[in-house]
Chains A and B, each alone.
Chain A
Amino acid sequence: MEVDKGKGEAEETRKVAEADRDTVTLKSSDGKLFEVSKEAAARLSTVLAGMIAGGSIDDNGTDLKQIGSEALENVVDYCNKHANSIPSAALISSSISFNTAPFKEPEEWERKFVDRLSHDALFDLVEAANFLGMERLLDVTCHKISEMMKGKSPDQIREVFNIKNDYTKEELEEIRQELAWAFYDD
């Protein structure tokens, strides 16, 4: 009983010590460790915020088995840059989408951040942002990918996004007729 009590106290002490730390350590699927500000992690990621609040952050590195080291490095880099950025006043998109409420435009630094990524790194980052519940990062990466699609023909989109055309000739003909209005300049 005393041993259990001792264990419990040790656990409590560890949790208090963790709570006092300003950073959290994240471990990628390939075992690499990354430190990120606890405040930024909690503010930008709903998943990490929940883990911090629930005390399930591991001092030796919280396992994020779904995220590779390159993507996690970009996530941490984004969190750090976000912590140092000054939010601009122009929050609402000037290029409103045809169907929905306007989205918040990426800041200049956010544009530069995603522009430097390779296509594969960008896709990994979208998946990581989605997994970690990082709404803003998801917003920025989705915006970048939509820009890569904008104004392209179906063939060009297939080319850029590695999509295999699996339609039969008959299906393609049907789509040609149904969506003829979208291909007038193709």
Chain B
Amino acid sequence: MAAILHKFVDADQWEAEDTIGRLGILMHAAFLSAGFETYGARPPFGHLLLRRACEATGSLCLWRLYTAPQLAHRHGADAAVLVVCAQGSEIALLMFLTAGDSDWTIGAYLELLHTDTVAPLLSRARLGDAEPWASRVCRALADGVCSGLLTELCRWNGLVVTSLAPLPDDTVVEILRRLPDAEDVARVESTCRDMRRVVAGRDGELWKPSSESEEEEEGVEVRRRWKEKFVEARPRRWDEDGFFRLRFRREFDFDLEAYFALRSSLRLRGCLRDSPEQDMVLTKGESSGDRRRRNVAMTRDNHKNKWRGAGTGAIHSPSSRYRWMHR
């Protein structure tokens, strides 16, 4: 299996982190590998995750937001949240969506680890020494829980999983030819390189006005200018040059610190302590000190419209999933 970690992490970033930081890096790479994009607040230069340490309790919280590429430009888009929380020898991994019509905790993925479990792999100073196992873990997480979260995020937002890319150019052109306005074609053209290539390659079909006769077309040079001719000939609006604006991706100023003040790490740890023992299973082939939930919580009982699986029912959530947006 090809090592995928190096696509998302460089050796210096790996070496600069301790065991918990490297676990965070592994999770971060799994999210990106699954097709997520980072979203919202950015970590300090040189780091991949944001962090908050509490000296009084000795706890450390690493976190970051991710969303589907199609939603990355939105302000306040639905997102997936990754939290790695460590205190003493216990590590909690928490992943959940801010999307959906039910309480976020119901679909959350929670895994409890012991430092003894992760140390043999993640304490190796060099990234190369941790391979290929680190990439295997990363791939398993990407194909499992992260991919499930992304699919669910897309589903909640009505996004297509397929795209225009696999369609033959002829079909894409047929779609574009049916657009009523030239502005629509230009906007599609500006979405990505492939669309620009298709539009540029079919200049005559897309931009040539129906009133122009075939006889006016003289060779390749003229054919290439249909779009320019169209732009020159089109009626102009008085304000279009002065007020041109293109919406760029805006930073989503999500203050997770305040968000977690609602359900502090104390509460999270309380949840870990209070979890009924019968819900926890020993993971096959791993240290007996490592308690974890058995499954990824990305399945849904359609008839009940509820999440099923490793729900974190013991975590008490506020009534609103979007509380931070209304502060």
Q: Is the CB of A123 within 8 A of B193?
A: no
Q: Is A2 an interface residue (CB 8 A)?
A: no
A160 to chain B, nearest CB (A): 7
B199 to chain A, nearest CB (A): 10
Q: Is B89 an interface residue (CB 8 A)?
A: no
Do most interface residues of chain A lie in helix, strand or loop, or is the interface mixed? helix
Residues in B173-211 with C-beta less than 8 Å from chain A? 174-184, 186-196, 205-210
A27 CA to B206 CA, complexed, in Å: 37
**Which of A143, A162, A186 is B70 in contact with, Cβ under 8 Å?**
A162
Q: Is the CB of A159 within 8 A of B179?
A: no
Q: Is B303 an interface residue (CB 8 A)?
A: no
**Which of B176, B187, B191 is A165 in contact with, Cβ under 8 Å?**
B191
Do most interface residues of chain B lie in helix, strand or loop, or is the interface mixed? loop
Q: Is A52 an interface residue (CB 8 A)?
A: no
Using Cβ atoms and an 8 Å threshold, which residues of chain A touch B181?
98, 150
* Contact pattern, A 124-136, Cβ under 8 Å of B = 1, otherwise 0: 1011001000000
Q: Say whether, besides A158-B191, A181-B236, A146 and B179 are in contact (CB < 8 Å).
A: yes
Q: Is A99 an interface residue (CB 8 A)?
A: yes
Using Cβ atoms and an 8 Å threshold, which residues of chain B touch A167?
192-193
Q: How many inter-chain contacts with C-beta < 8 Å in the A-B complex? A: 166
Among B118-126, B133-141, B160-168, B259-267, which stretch is in contact with chain A? B160-168
* Contact pattern, A 79-114, Cβ under 8 Å of B = 1, otherwise 0: 000000000000000011111110100000000000
A156 to chain B, nearest CB (A): 9
Residues in A129-170 with C-beta less than 8 Å from chain B? 130, 138, 142-143, 145-146, 149-155, 157-167
Q: Is the CB of B159 within 8 A of A138?
A: no
**Which of A123, A143, A165, A180 is B178 in contact with, Cβ under 8 Å?**
A143
Chain B residue at minimal CB-CB distance from A102 = B210
Q: Is the CB of B184 within 8 A of A181?
A: no
**Which of B167, B179, B182, B195 is A123 in contact with, Cβ under 8 Å?**
B167
Q: Is A21 an interface residue (CB 8 A)?
A: no
Q: Is A65 an interface residue (CB 8 A)?
A: no
B69 to chain A, nearest CB (A): 5
Q: Is the CB of A100 within 8 A of B70?
A: no
Q: Say whether, besides A99-B182, A186-B246, A119 and B162 are in contact (CB < 8 Å).
A: yes
Using Cβ atoms and an 8 Å threshold, which residues of chain B touch A179?
186-187, 189-190
Using Cβ atoms and an 8 Å threshold, which residues of chain B touch A53?
none
Chain B residue at minimal CB-CB distance from A181 = B240
Q: Is A32 an interface residue (CB 8 A)?
A: no
Using Cβ atoms and an 8 Å threshold, which residues of chain B touch A4?
none
Using Cβ atoms and an 8 Å threshold, which residues of chain B touch A20?
none
A158 CA to B206 CA, complexed, in Å: 20
Using Cβ atoms and an 8 Å threshold, which residues of chain A touch B170?
130
Using Cβ atoms and an 8 Å threshold, which residues of chain A touch B180?
95-98, 150
Using Cβ atoms and an 8 Å threshold, which residues of chain B touch A138?
171, 174
Chain A residue at minimal CB-CB distance from B174 = A142
Task: Report 27 cross-chain contacts, Cβ distance below 8 Å, ordered by A residue.
Answer: A95-B180, A98-B182, A98-B209, A100-B177, A100-B208, A100-B210, A101-B210, A120-B161, A126-B167, A127-B167, A138-B171, A142-B178, A150-B179, A150-B181, A154-B190, A154-B246, A155-B247, A157-B191, A159-B71, A161-B160, A161-B163, A162-B160, A163-B164, A163-B165, A164-B192, A181-B186, A183-B187
Residues in A33-50 with C-beta less than 8 Å from chain B? none
Using Cβ atoms and an 8 Å threshold, which residues of chain A touch B167?
123, 126-127, 130
Q: Say whether, besides A164-B192, A167-B192, A182 and B183 are in contact (CB < 8 Å).
A: yes
